[in-house]
Structure 1
């Protein structure tokens, strides 16, 4: 590694860049030093290191997944969050360095920007749309982000309506990761830790529950209409 690049990386490590500025800065450095993306990759490693220690193993597996499916009962899935929404969510944990966590979450989302991103399917409880995290302006932008992804080639979003009543995952949120060459993984969280398992019976049970959730949820097209309606009626903005 060139001495200049190493020095820049050291400086970045001691003071985490802002979520918006870090990637622009790293790309400008790569262009200036003709490093073929080296500094951007190093900055990415620095940003990802800001994730909670217990969450990093999942983030590493998420970045390798060929297919991601998630059911979220409380908040929008991290890969789909806007920066402002993520900041409001992460602030509830009263972290020592909120901006570092926000930057790390934004870095996580870069897997959706790849030339060949993972296939992803998100089922969101309807309550997620109504929970005003960050306030009206933040929620308008967040719902617009969901609508933007609704037409994404690799992403599908469904809303599980409140009128569905009891459903297959009243126990809470969970994620499933599938890989080209590795066993499938199920991931769940509690208050301050995450749990991954490749146990075949657990994976089978989670797959069955997810299939039931998809069947109970609104169709993709109906979900777009529901998000648009909530955005307009609840947050005063027409998509």
Structure 2
């Protein structure tokens, strides 16, 4: 039987799944054994263990009863940490697909996207969330580390195609001290020089021709299936239905056609790096 290797450090949900597998195997139970005890299918348990499906409150309480867990180290408490933690619900699932995608097309508004951030830029961004008491310092550190792990996951062979269209606000908005923005501009310029990347800026002058008002990402997997990811303030949504994703992909192509070319975008960022408005 194929056994998927788990990486508990990749996301809180992955850590939940790895712990569930470890405890099940410590009891010498198969997935079918646990399924019988908690009245879930073995397929469902496999999906939770491999982080393909999020645990629910009912599921975690059933698992706690099956293992006889009480006190502070319950699966229910871990579920609540995931639910109310620093990462949006749905985002860890997206990150898993992102790390395996053959092509990544992203559009961002307001801030440089995580895949292109320097650690210093990311830290400034999360420090403000701490100041607003939206997250804890520990959660801020988790977010910064995750951004760096996501970037590292894309350094692979064959290299994924990564197309980034940034709203002009991403490069115009100052973040932290001037040296933070200087380093961030240099990071963007270096990104544009890579053979598997495209960098474009969508200028303010696009006005109503801009097809998106919120950030969006479209992934193309190795089997050519496509999916899209978008976020609200409370959760992220990963859409796997190709028929629903195709209009998003079409709008993305329209966005690219209207945005500055890579040469024009690089020239704009070079001017900003030199302090020329």
Decide which of 49, 52, 58 is 2:87's aligned counterpart: 52
Equivalent position of 2:231 in the other structure: 189
Q: TM-score, normalised by structure 1?
A: 0.74
Distance in 2 between residues matched to 1:162 and 1:144, nearest whole Å: 22
Distance in 2 between residues matched to 1:232 and 1:146, nearest whole Å: 14
Equivalent position of 1:4 in the other structure: none
Q: Does 1:139 align with 2:181?
A: yes
Q: Does 1:77 align with 2:119?
A: no
Q: Per-residue displacement from partner, 1:43-102 (whole Å, max 9, x unpaired)?
A: x74254497262110100100100000011121121110001111222333322122221
After TM superposition, the structure 1 stretch with the greater mean CA deviation from structure 2, 65-74 or 130-139, is 130-139
Equivalent position of 2:125 in the other structure: 89
Distance in 2 between residues matched to 1:172 and 1:109, nearest whole Å: 22
Decide which of 255, 258, 264 is 1:222's aligned counterpart: 264
Distance in 2 between residues matched to 1:165 and 1:231, nearest whole Å: 25
Q: Is the 8 A contact 2:99 2:154 kept in 1?
A: no
Decide which of 113, 137, 145 is 2:155's aligned counterpart: 113
Q: Per-residue displacement from partner, 1:110-151 (whole Å, max 9, x unpaired)?
A: 123223221100000111111012231111110110000111
Q: Would the alpha carbon gap of residues 80 and 165 (structure 1) be closer, same or farther in structure 2, given more than 3 Å must change? A: same
Q: Is the 8 A contact 2:101 2:219 kept in 1?
A: yes
* Structure whose alpha-carbon radius of gyration is higher: 2
Q: Per-residue displacement from partner, 1:146-194 (whole Å, max 9, x unpaired)?
A: 0001110111100111112123334211000001126311100111310
Q: Is the 8 A contact 1:66 1:119 kept in 2?
A: yes
Q: Is the 8 A contact 2:115 2:151 kept in 1?
A: yes
Q: How many residues align?
A: 194
Equivalent position of 2:219 in the other structure: 177
Q: TM-score, normalised by structure 2?
A: 0.65
Q: Is the 8 A contact 1:71 1:173 kept in 2?
A: yes
